Structure 1
Amino acid sequence: MPLWIPITIAAAFLQNLRSVVQKHLKGVMGTTGATFVRFGFGFPFALAFVGVLHFVVGYELPALNRTFFAWAVVGGLGQIAATFLLIHLFSFRNFAVGTAYSRTEPAQAALFGLLFLGERATAGAVAAIAISVFGVMLISVAHTAFTARTLVTSVLSRNALIGLASGTFFGISAVAYRAASLALGGPNFMTQAAVTLAVVIVFQTLIMLGWILWRERDELPRIARAWRPALFTGLVGASASFGWFMAMTLQQAAIVKSLAQIEMLFTFASSVFFFRERINRLEIAGCVLIVGGILVLLALG
């Protein structure tokens, strides 16, 4: 089994765990504060990953370059926007459906990978992405009268457009992170991923902290009061990102993000067992299609 597969599954599990805690944090602070927590409480762990690899394991640190910084900035800003929109979605619909809207990310990452990096997906990978995205569309209309028209018009609803925008920014950031990590040129995928994560997350923390100090200072006391769950969010968020960065250094971002649809299974489990939200037949059917897409990816991608 290629190494990027178990790394991606582990990252998907950790990301879902982070989202569960962030939804809780959304209830005690604003969207900006809940978004900041992912980065502001994650950067010490990101720096620790680099420290362990360099000082304990003995890996050399790569030389940073302009291409790396350019892609890191694009990815960092894209991820901030995507995370903000995703957390904002939690205010409108249940946890599973809100997350599902952003799951068009693999298809969008494939497009951006082609446009920016010249990467081409195999026929099997395209089929897998299409199956998974259709599963997401089913989930998006699961609480409305299901017809061909609602399946199409659901994409034009406010919530869907916010989710699609979130997926767009996630897709851009995924491709940018892969490009940044590859621009380092070595010494190995773990160190490249760790250094990329550390630089990006420090940049994101500074950007968001500056915004909060300028426009939303009342968020700071709320963040401080919730420091325990925020610290846990930072740990699992940084660990998930480290996993994504490693996987995307080894494999195309679109392929990694297609397998990452397995996160929806973890999301449905969270909806049922943590938030006591009911899952209907269409949501189950959408989940089955997502799993089917993953199986096609593993078999043919």
Structure 2
Amino acid sequence: MTEETAIKAPICAPVTCLALNPALDMTIGLDRLATGAVNRAQSCTTIAGGKGVNVAATLAAGGVKTAVTGILGRDNADFFNSFLAGRGIENHFLYQAGAVRRNIKLVSAFETTDINLPGLSADPVLLEQLRSILAAAKSRFLVLAGSVPPHCPDSFYADFLQFYARQSGAQKARCVADCSGAALKALLSGAARPFCIKPNREELAEWSGKKLTDQAEILQEARRLAASGIALVAVSMGAEGALFVTEAAACCARITLDKVASTVGAGDAMVAGLIKALLEQTESDIITAAELENIAGSATLWAGAKLECAGPALPKPARLHALAQNLCCRRLY
């Protein structure tokens, strides 16, 4: 979609992803990172990224028709436009002067170090247009993912949910949120609740003000959120897997892997896998215990499969099927 036509037609894709603060993700491969010394790179790749873009790209790789909107700087927008077109993702980005930020990921065999640069200062007029685009979308799911850019209020997601709740219409999309820090705090302090949130353990701990040293403590906080009106709370816990919690049920899922190519974007792949499962289920806001186990399995499988791939991608169906044999999902209550 061109810059001139980006905001004329309402979005009709089943999933719309918001990328408020997209980035060009530069991944530099190293044998070992030595701080305070000269490091020689073994590889360097650059790909369009940011949480909203990553979720959209992973969904598209899994065969889900997806749209993405947000704000791009014209100086390097062509990189994103080509990336989305090559994956069949509907492009509903808005454009302003400037360049999209770059994020740097230093990846060694031992760890990944992220250096996230400040984003493009958001034009308030475009932020208002984005709110209208999202509200008009005829999607089943809206994904609100990632950090907010400079000059965008931390309460943008929370404010949108309240605005959206006031809109008339027979059928509204379910909102899935994956954010952190002040944006997450504002979201969970608002009167309107998202259908689903997907914090990691550290983000949940920051919000709760507790250390959350074990699964029982994580589950307690997740149950508190589910009881507040959020239909599904998914908490990623790294190598320990993830918890999936509703007010009536909870399960823990994890997957065993032979190799890990990159941990970058695993959380975004989990969001994509979760949405993929929800799209295949009933449109009821009540998630049954059986549906929850299916959601947990799909989300964890996609997150694990992503670990074997570079960039927001999935392996071929045969490999996904093989990986599913390494999936363990345990009902907690």
Same fold (TM over 0.5): no
TM-score, length of structure 2 as denominator length = 0.21
Indicate the structure whose relative CO is greater, using CA pairs within 8 Å and at least 6 residues apart: 1
Higher share of residues assigned strand: 2
Higher share of residues assigned helix: 1
